Amino acid sequence: MRWAQYVAVVLGAIGLENPLNGSSDSYPLGTPKSDAVDHVNPMIGNGGDSPNGSGGMIPSTAPPFAMTRWVAQTRQNFVSVTPYNLTDTKIHGFQGTHQPAIWMGESGQVVVAPGVGKVTPSFEERGIPFSHNDEVATASYYSVKMRPETGGVIHGEHASTSRVGHLRFTFTDVSSPHVVLQVTRNSIVSNNESRIQVNIGDVAILPDRQEITGRNPERQDDILGPFKAERFAGYFVARFSEPFESWGTATNDTLHEGETSRTDEQVMGYARFRQNTTTVDVRVGVSFISIEQARKNLDNEIPDGTSLEKTAYQTRQTWAEKLDRVQIEGATDDQKTIFYTGFYHTLQYPYEQDEDGQYYSGYDDKVHNGTSYTGYSIWDTFRAEWAWEILFVPERIPGMVTSMLQDYQEGGWLPMWKNIVETNIMVGTHVDSLIAEAMIKGVTGFDRELAYEAVYKDATVPPVNDTTTQYADREEGTGVEARAGLTLYAVTGYVGSDTHTEAGSRTLDYAFDDYAVAVVARETGHDDVADFLFDRSKSYQKIFNNDTGFMEARFSNGSWAGEDAGWTEGDKWAYTFDVIHDVDGLIALKGGKEPFVEFLDEHFNGGHNDQTNEPSHHIPYLYAMAGVPSKGQTLIRSIAFTDYNATVDGLAGNEDCGQMSAWYLFSALGFYPVNPSSLNYVVGSPFFENVTINLPGVSKPLVIRAPGASTKPYVKSLTVNGKPISEPILTHDQIANGGEIVFSMSDVPEEWGSFSPVAHEEL
């Protein structure tokens, strides 16, 4: 059953009037019509029995790249805990969240919790039982029937714009309906229950305006990185459709009846509505700038008189505009669900941090004019997620790059993992690749010379106290991590395993990042620097241990550090393949194509490939680059069919801001950007018979045909606009300008693509 049909059935079953039908301002759910959006299942990625064994996704509503996502809150969300968990049985309110991924902290959130009877504001006591049978989750609209223990039903619904949540509560027990707004809570730092962060914020009740406002300074990640963002806060204005009959503030489980403002920890505000009030509509404008700005955001995005139906309609339209750009024939219903849900995931992060032409910067603690984004997981997303966004949301890329350059100007460095400010999570300065890729793929609208200056700094300036700080994962009290260990790397070509954590991964990552900076230098006319860094990008060779045939980190003195030391979310298997910018050079290190292919076989047959984590993502495509595309073709399909499915457990590893899905999406189309700082995509095995893609700003569609693809995994020949292609490479121009790509498929391994050397970028 499609989600829209499901909505109608569930609402009927609840026995409440279907609010989506009948009114003069009626925008029935399911409009605008979009088969693609109907295939989004936001529950995918919320299952799994451990934070790292699932997608870490939540069934939230919001438009693409929204500042705030709204979600039913079933538990307190901290680092490694999402606010919604399918195994929970109670809803404690509806949260406007800014937590961009399971491993990151929440910032400046607000929670809206309906109730009946006595006001019991504490998180524990306000939980209301619900069943998944009474729940509807779509990309643009969420609905749930909650059953208070005292009887009756509260029907909760929400839709949202980027900066405004639109909620509606319908009560069957109308004796004492009320709504609580939770402003601050005490949060757990770094997933350590004995480290409590006490957050003190403000709440105000404005009965005349039918508003409750608040300021929440919580930023769980404020222990990471050097930026304290002292003035950071999430502000909100919640405006209600119904007059308040009585009100107060609360601190955890204590009511301060009649009080209209309070500054405190665990502070909340509540309003009771007149007896017989059946429906309360509330719009919650949020801001990182001020209460006034939150109110402006509310009035701009969901003005008074807007129905929830209209908000849901508009949110759905924002998704339809994107997802309908890909039309698929020859996919099963489940495959479409995986595809479009993945597509929806790739357009969630980074998220907008600007409001009305201004943004709060945590780097210098000031408000600036301009566009800003946050929620970057660049170690993950530089691989394929960014390439996907360049193709499908080109209108966003100049703003995203400009935002990174503002981070550089305000904080001294480009972002690695920005969550309001830099958090130093993961390693490498792969932002260099984001900028290189944007430049070579022709993105304009950002300051190229400033971009060069910023990536050049990454390549040449070590972080503060580089020789005395490990820059370990989540190490506190450090500077911006950038390329920790660069001091030694610049001299020897490797990072010392005794002085820095993850030294093997850092060495390989810095070599690739050198390549990316060389690309930017070449693009901006700094040829000497390009030559120098292109040479230095061969540094990966410095940690290839020819005696073992594996990459291996070194100590500062040059001796080997042991095969298991120094890897980031991977092992010596994945990392020995981690030379995406010079695959020919890697093949040569391994003694040529034949031994390299044997090594790939050993990697896959030995169960060493781990699609649940990013370092493995490009590896199946290396078969094509080593001259045997057919071997990779079956593997790519088996990974896609094993590690992705249309159930709640359908992502075998964390979504990581879209990279897990970007792998699937590109693979399904039949190509993957192994080296994202190049114009090449490596050919795999298209899954579907016909795909038609209307890329934004491109006059003709890109049509990908692969007759028989559902049963035939092997590629026998390939043409682009009628011209035969003999190498397993498609270039950006062949994809990004539209046209026709035709694969001839086969059910037996074919020689195609194996006879000529792989094309590669000449710098």
Ligand X SMILES: *[C@@H]1O[C@H](CO)[C@@H](O)[C@H](O)[C@H]1NC(C)=O
Residues that bind ligand X (CB under 6 A): 48-52, 54, 56, 81-82, 85, 87, 122, 124-125, 186, 192, 194-195, 226, 252-253, 274-276, 329-330, 369, 464-465, 478-479, 498, 546, 555, 557, 559, 591, 612, 643, 645, 647, 649-650, 652, 689-690
**Nearer to ligand X among residue 54 and residue 61 (C-beta):** 54
**Nearer to ligand X among residue 464 and residue 490 (C-beta):** 464
**Nearer to ligand X among residue 639 and residue 729 (C-beta):** 639
Minimum Å distance from CB 52 to ligand X? 4
Minimum Å distance from CB 219 to ligand X? 18
Degrees to nearest 5, angle at CA 21 with 15 and 27: 140
Q: Which residue's entry shows tokens 């503030």?
A: 249
| Distance between start and end Cα atoms, the chain | 52
How far is the C-alpha of 99 from the C-alpha of 313, rounded, in Å?
25
**Nearer to ligand X among residue 16 and residue 81 (C-beta):** 81
Give the bridge partners for 72, in sequence order: 94
**Selection from 603, 600, 581, 736 nearest residue 669 by Cα:** 736
Minimum Å distance from CB 25 to ligand X? 26
**Nearer to ligand X among residue 652 and residue 745 (C-beta):** 652
**Nearer to ligand X among residue 318 and residue 654 (C-beta):** 654
**Selection from 119, 52, 53 nearest residue 79 by Cα:** 52
Residues in the chain: 763
Degrees to nearest 5, angle at CA 216 with 214 and 218: 170
**Nearer to ligand X among residue 419 and residue 556 (C-beta):** 556
| Omega within 30 of 0 (cis) for the link into 217 | no
**Nearer to ligand X among residue 49 and residue 762 (C-beta):** 49
How far is the C-alpha of 138 from the C-alpha of 122, rounded, in Å?
29
Minimum Å distance from CB 125 to ligand X? 5
**Nearer to ligand X among residue 110 and residue 639 (C-beta):** 639
Those residues whose C-beta lies under 8 Å from the C-beta of residue 215, and which sit 6 or more positions away, are: 183, 201, 202, 233, 234, 235, 291
Minimum Å distance from CB 732 to ligand X? 25
How far is the C-alpha of 664 from the C-alpha of 313, rounded, in Å?
28
Torsion (CA) 177, 183, 185, 191 in degrees, nearest 10 = 110
Degrees to nearest 5, angle at CA 188 with 185 and 193: 130
How far, CA to CA in Å, does 345 sit from each of 57, 284, 304, 388, 655? 9, 24, 31, 11, 8
**Nearer to ligand X among residue 87 and residue 605 (C-beta):** 87
**Nearer to ligand X among residue 531 and residue 649 (C-beta):** 649
Judge whether 69 and 160 are in contact, CB under 8 Å.
Answer: yes
Helix (H, G, I), strand (E, B) or coil at 683: strand
Minimum Å distance from CB 75 to ligand X? 8
How far, CA to CA in Å, does 234 sit from each of 60, 215, 231, 420, 705? 19, 6, 10, 11, 48
Minimum Å distance from CB 726 to ligand X? 25
Minimum Å distance from CB 279 to ligand X? 14
How far is the C-alpha of 677 from the C-alpha of 519, rounded, in Å?
7
Instruction: State phi, psi for 712 to the nearest 5 degrees.
Output: -110, 110
Q: Which residue's entry shows tokens 């080997």?
A: 560
DSSP 208: G
| Amino acid letter, residue 403 | S
Minimum Å distance from CB 708 to ligand X? 10
Helix (H, G, I), strand (E, B) or coil at 312: helix
Minimum Å distance from CB 631 to ligand X? 22
Minimum Å distance from CB 472 to ligand X? 13
How far is the C-alpha of 600 from the C-alpha of 608, rounded, in Å?
10
Please give the sequence-ordered ranges of beta strands (E in DSSP) within 324-450, or none if there are none: 326-329, 351-352, 354-355, 358-361, 366-369, 373-374, 418-419, 421-422
Minimum Å distance from CB 648 to ligand X? 9
Minimum Å distance from CB 498 to ligand X? 4
Helix (H, G, I), strand (E, B) or coil at 598: helix
Helix (H, G, I), strand (E, B) or coil at 175: coil
**Nearer to ligand X among residue 302 and residue 503 (C-beta):** 503
**Nearer to ligand X among residue 742 and residue 758 (C-beta):** 742
Minimum Å distance from CB 689 to ligand X? 4
Minimum Å distance from CB 669 to ligand X? 15
Minimum Å distance from CB 311 to ligand X? 28
Degrees to nearest 5, angle at CA 453 with 451 and 457: 115
**Nearer to ligand X among residue 84 and residue 313 (C-beta):** 84
How far is the C-alpha of 141 from the C-alpha of 131, rounded, in Å?
17
Minimum Å distance from CB 29 to ligand X? 27
How far is the C-alpha of 525 from the C-alpha of 384, rounded, in Å?
27
How far, CA to CA in Å, does 407 sit from each of 229, 370, 423, 457? 13, 12, 13, 13
How far is the C-alpha of 144 from the C-alpha of 137, rounded, in Å?
9
Q: Which two tokens stand for residue 124?
A: 């524990």
Helix (H, G, I), strand (E, B) or coil at 346: helix
Regarding beta strands 702-705 and 739-746, do their DSSP bridges make them parallel or antiparallel, or are they unpaired? parallel
Degrees to nearest 5, angle at CA 94 with 149 and 120: 40
